[in-house]
Amino acid sequence: MKKIAVCFISACLSTSVLAEKTTLKIAVQTSGTLDWELSVLPESPDFKIAIQPVATAEAAKIALQSGAVDMIVSDFLWVSQTRNTGFDFTFYPYSNTSGALVVAANSSIHDVKDLVGKRVGIAGGELDKNWLLLQAAGKKENVDLNKSTEKAFGAPPLISEQLKNQRVDAILTQWHFAAQLESQGYKQLLDGKALQQALGISENVPTLGYVFKESWANSHKLELKAFFAATSEAKNRLCDDSQLWKKATSKMENAPDILHQRYCDGRVTSWNFENQQAAQKLYSVLFSLNPKVGNSANLAAGTFWTVE
């Protein structure tokens, strides 16, 4: 009997070890959108999620660099920059939706050229990808927006208030803040896709993506593949089920219908060689505008990660 009992306990221990899931530690901005789909993520036998709330995008980057989390959402420009400084971060697409240029409904600003001499609020800093895109679009129109506009940089909520209080004439902000303003009567002139198309890039280039260490990813391929499949399913569920959407966005007071539309428009449907080549073309354009974007006109090798 004693021998049987020992074998039984051993079997239990073995089963317990096999059943242990890998924990994916993810930094989530309190004003971001990632928590919407994580809140409806289907159960998986391969992983479980541990959410680390962070206040800003910079705080998320610090958490990733310090090893406090395994994954954040950021852009591929930053990934390439960090790879050039010795980090092995890599990028997998999260959304095709990025920023937008927003003005008042009765604004005299109708296109990029009309921004000359105007006050522009920018969510982010001098190297914000949307600001660089807008400058590149201006350059195509022979307009130097960096020199011909009065700029104010800040966090998205602050920039929205600047527009509402008429302290700026236009703002360049994150897509979900732009959608909220649209629902309040403001007008979206250009979004990230339109800006990319103005630069001659027709393929979808998801500038926002999941960022994680390549070395970590290579030892967690099964879990990451399952996670990305689950997040894709979660996105589709949020787009197909309006009640689920309302529940997921309940932290946001009076989430407008346009927010739902913009979120679903951002679903990534392809991530192949053509998309990555288009991303390289976009990066080269931005580098030519501001060399501070990176070390060269080429993205660092390994910037993009593909599920095998």
pLDDT of residue 185: 94
The answer to whether the CB of 230 falls within 8 A of the CB of 83 is no
pLDDT of residue 306: 86
pLDDT of residue 255: 75
How many DSSP H helices and E strands does the chain contain? 14, 10
pLDDT of residue 19: 56
The segment(s) of the chain belonging to CATH 3.40.190.10 are 21-94+206-248, 99-198
Please tell me what DSSP assigns to residue 120.
E
pLDDT of residue 177: 92
pLDDT of residue 10: 47
The radius of gyration of the chain's CA atoms, rounded to the nearest angstrom, is 22
pLDDT of residue 218: 94
pLDDT of residue 20: 82
Q: Does domain 21-94+206-248 have CATH number 1.10.150.20?
A: no
pLDDT of residue 250: 86
Per residue in 143-192, pLDDT (tens digit) is 999 999 999 999 899 999 999 999 999 999 999 999 999 999 999 999 98
Fold of 99-198: D-Maltodextrin-Binding Protein; domain 2 (3.40.190)
The answer to whether the CB of 191 falls within 8 A of the CB of 272 is no
SS3 category, 135: helix
Per residue in 109-143, pLDDT (tens digit) is 999 999 999 999 999 888 888 899 899 999 989 99
Query: Could you count the other beta carbons within 10 Å of the beta carbon of residue 43?
Result: 8
In this structure, which amino acid lies at residue 8?
Answer: F
Question: Where does residue 25 rank: exposed (0-12), middle (13-18), buried (19+ CB within 10 A)?
Answer: middle
pLDDT of residue 294: 81
Spatial separation of the C-alpha atoms in residues 297 and 268, rounded to whole Å: 25
Spatial separation of the C-alpha atoms in residues 21 and 44, rounded to whole Å: 9
Spatial separation of the C-alpha atoms in residues 304 and 77, rounded to whole Å: 11
Residues (pLDDT < 70) of the chain are 1-19
